[in-house]
Amino acid sequence: MKLYSGISKLRQTFDLATDVPMATHTRLKVGGPADLLAQPETRKDLIDLLKAAQSASVPVTIVGGGCNLLVSDQGIRGLVVVTTQLKSGVRAETCPDKKVRLFIEAGERLSTVCSHAVRHGLTGLEFCAGIPGTIGGAVIMNAGTADQGIGGRVHSLDVLNLDTQDVYTLKKRDLVFSYRRLKLKNHLILGVTLTLSPGEPFQIRQTHNDILFRKQNTQPMDLPSAGCFFKNPDPDHPAGKLIEDAGLKGKTIRGAQVSPVHANYIVNLGHATCTDILALKQHIQQQVWDRYSIVLETEVITTGDGMKNE
């Protein structure tokens, strides 16, 4: 009751979309309706909206490109804020030590940042070639490869504290990155500053293109997915190899399938629900446990009504 009066309060002040299927905002293309959804274009609009949501006691969920998200079939109660319109290109500044700082709003696509680095002969981000989503999402997920994450390139973050509504800058020393995660509870990233170095332009372009080419040939590109579904338990046991060795490539539960191309990808065959994907996820975890006594943890973030956040 309190939620619904809060929602109607917010709707009186802001132009918000209602009952928006989250399947249209996630790469997996599953997920029920969000009560309210906004795509603010400026920091000010975003902050005004979040302040109003807090005073109306409406819960907020942040979504970037939706590339690493699994949303429940019941959808998301409260307000979903999609950051993809919060962008203004890449601004660069050279430091006295010749390193280059890139300033980027949170909703800019990571691929735009990577292309900027390639065009300007800046090295340090080649390993991010081909990773979809926003720069804000990439930093929260510490996106990258098995042995590198974008956290290693972060100089500082402009953040909004969702509890106090204060805006401040967090320096590298304040940030704790781990494999596919940044520890940053109840904060929204507004802007990201990266540090890159000048390099050899031809080499940078070649490395970037080689990684893109390799991904196109080893990952399922034609069906919706969230990239690697499980974290690698350790470098000697990549999740994909464990799943493949358990004989699960191609395993299908209704609309969800273990990709025959890459076993750590769960793909949506076109009619998958979140329930199908969760059933397949549990089957994979059980089989890998039975065979190897290894627990597979999800890399994908689960959210929405009735979902346990892992």
Ligand X SMILES: Cc1cc2nc3c(=O)[nH]c(=O)nc-3n(C[C@H](O)[C@H](O)[C@H](O)COP(=O)(O)OP(=O)(O)OC[C@H]3O[C@@H](n4cnc5c(N)ncnc54)[C@H](O)[C@@H]3O)c2cc1C
Taking the complex as a whole, how short is the minimal distance between the CB of residue 12 and ligand X, in angstroms? 26
Considering only the stretches 42-50, 170-178, 220-228, 254-262, report the one whose residues sit in contact with ligand X under the rule CB under 6 A. 220-228
174/183 Cα distance (integer angstroms): 10
125/118 Cα distance (integer angstroms): 9
CB closer to ligand X, 67 vs 194: 67
Taking the complex as a whole, how short is the minimal distance between the CB of residue 13 and ligand X, in angstroms? 23
- Is 310 a catalytic site residue? no
The correct pick among 38, 58, 140, 263 for binding ligand X (CB under 6 A) is 140
| 3-state class percentages of the chain: helix first, strand second, coil last, to nearest 5 | 30, 30, 40
**Residue reference for tokens 């042995």:** 147
3-state secondary structure of 39: coil
- Is 274 a catalytic site residue? no
Residue 112: partners with Cβ closer than 8 Å, 6 or more residues away: 89, 90
Taking the complex as a whole, how short is the minimal distance between the CB of residue 188 and ligand X, in angstroms? 4
CB closer to ligand X, 106 vs 253: 106
Taking the complex as a whole, how short is the minimal distance between the CB of residue 301 and ligand X, in angstroms? 4
Q: Residue 300 has what DSSP assignment?
A: S
The correct pick among 38, 131, 243, 272 for binding ligand X (CB under 6 A) is 131
The correct pick among 27, 120, 181, 283 for binding ligand X (CB under 6 A) is 27
Where does the chain have alpha helices with state H?
2-13, 43-55, 110-119, 135-141, 201-218, 239-245, 274-292
The correct pick among 63, 76, 118, 272 for binding ligand X (CB under 6 A) is 63
Distance from the Cα of residue 91 to its chain's centroid: 22
* Residue 68 within binding range of ligand X, rule CB under 6 A: yes
CB closer to ligand X, 118 vs 301: 301
The correct pick among 49, 58, 100, 143 for binding ligand X (CB under 6 A) is 143
Where does 146-222 have alpha helices with state H?
201-218
Q: What angle do CA 158, 163, 165 make, to 5 degrees?
A: 50
CB closer to ligand X, 62 vs 277: 62
- Is 254 a catalytic site residue? no
Whats the size of the chain, residue-wise?
310
Which residue ranges make up the site for ligand X (CB under 6 A)?
27, 62-69, 83, 106, 131-134, 136-138, 140-141, 143-144, 188-189, 225-227, 301
Question: Which residues form the catalytic set?
Answer: 180, 228, 299
